Amino acid sequence: MLTQTAIRSATVLPSTRPLHAPRPVAAAAASESRSLAQHMQLMGAAMAFARNAEIFGENEPADYLYKLISGTVRTYKILSDGRRQIGGFYLPGDVFGLELGDEHTQSAEAMTDAKVLVIKRSALTGLAGRDATVARDLYTLTARELRRAQDRLVLLIKSAQERVASFLLEMAERAPHGDAIELPMSRQDIADYLGLTIETVSRTFTALEGLAAINVPTSRHIVLRNREALSRMNG
């Protein structure tokens, strides 16, 4: 039913490249040195997803890999009683939906209207078997995700203030508009990312503002006023 929503709200866009892609074998032969990113451009179909539309669901077949072109995406897992843990936030250029097995272990939703390159996994894994560059790129992406997940594990044993400070520094790092951060996600998303409640996130923002570490001109717009201080309270 969530999938229905996704299908209904998703639109196939005209691809930026001709859709009559070269046949697999020829492509592999001709492309030994092409990067994963280039292959995805060639093989992927661009799709648009509306805000809050589901891109894929946990336990669905993981037949595709996704590369974000524009907008922002969240992945998450939900427990039986509704608690939600956000696995990650993805920004343009990021790849998500990487899976070892043949089913997704998380769900993915567009946080804002988003355009996504969708690539058949079978095509890519086949290619990886013949092209070491592609294989290495896939490995690198997976290893990077692993490192992020391990860093999150550490984050989740910290205090609320430490978690929020870490989060803000991470966001500033990833969307580098100087000290001004435009948050694409709601307080609920942040809370579910950090393992806190929206009330605690909100109160912590207020507290950090009181400490002159940040400014919060509007709820989605944060200005880092003292990175030093944020880093110090980082654990």
Partner DNA sequence: CGACCATTTGATATGGATCAAGCGATGTGG
Partner DNA sequence: CCACATCGCTTGATCCATATCAAATGGTCG
Q: Which residues here bind its own copies, judged by CB under 8 A?
A: 77, 79-81, 83, 85, 87, 98-100, 105-106, 129, 132, 135-136, 138-140, 142-147, 149-150, 152-154, 156-158, 195, 235
Q: How far is the CB of 134 from DNA (least distance, A)?
A: 39
Q: How far is the CB of 160 from DNA (least distance, A)?
A: 4
Would you call 124 exposed, middle or buried from its count of C-beta atoms within 10 A (0-12, 13-18, 19+)? buried
Tokens of 16: 């930026």
In the 3-class helix/strand/coil scheme, how is 69-130 assigned residue by residue?
Answer: EECCEEEEEECCCCCEEEEEEECCCCEECCCCCCECCCEEEECCCEEEEEEEHHHHHHHHHH
Contacted entry of its own copies, DNA, none for residue 225, CB cut-off 5 to 8 Å set by kind = none
Tokens of 215: 């400014």
> By C-beta, is 151 or 199 nearer to DNA?
199
Residues whose CB falls within 8 Å of the CB of residue 105, separated by 6 or more in sequence, listed in order: 58, 77, 99
Contacted entry of its own copies, DNA, none for residue 22, CB cut-off 5 to 8 Å set by kind = none
Q: How far is the CB of 206 from DNA (least distance, A)?
A: 3
For tokens 């990077």, what's the residue? 144
> By C-beta, is 48 or 194 nearer to its own copies?
194
Contacted entry of DNA, its own copies, none for residue 149, CB cut-off 5 to 8 Å set by kind = its own copies
Q: How far is the CB of 11 from DNA (least distance, A)?
A: 19
Q: How far is the CB of 48 from its own copies (least distance, A)?
A: 27
Neighbour tally for 33: CB within 10 Å: 9
Whether the CA torsion 68, 66, 86, 188 is positive or negative: it is positive
Separation between Cα atoms, residue 23 and residue 18, nearest integer Å: 13
Contacted entry of its own copies, DNA, none for residue 198, CB cut-off 5 to 8 Å set by kind = DNA
Q: How far is the CB of 105 from its own copies (least distance, A)?
A: 6
> By C-beta, is 67 or 163 nearer to DNA?
163
Q: Which residues bind DNA (CB under 7 A)?
A: 159-161, 186-188, 195-203, 205-206, 216, 218-220
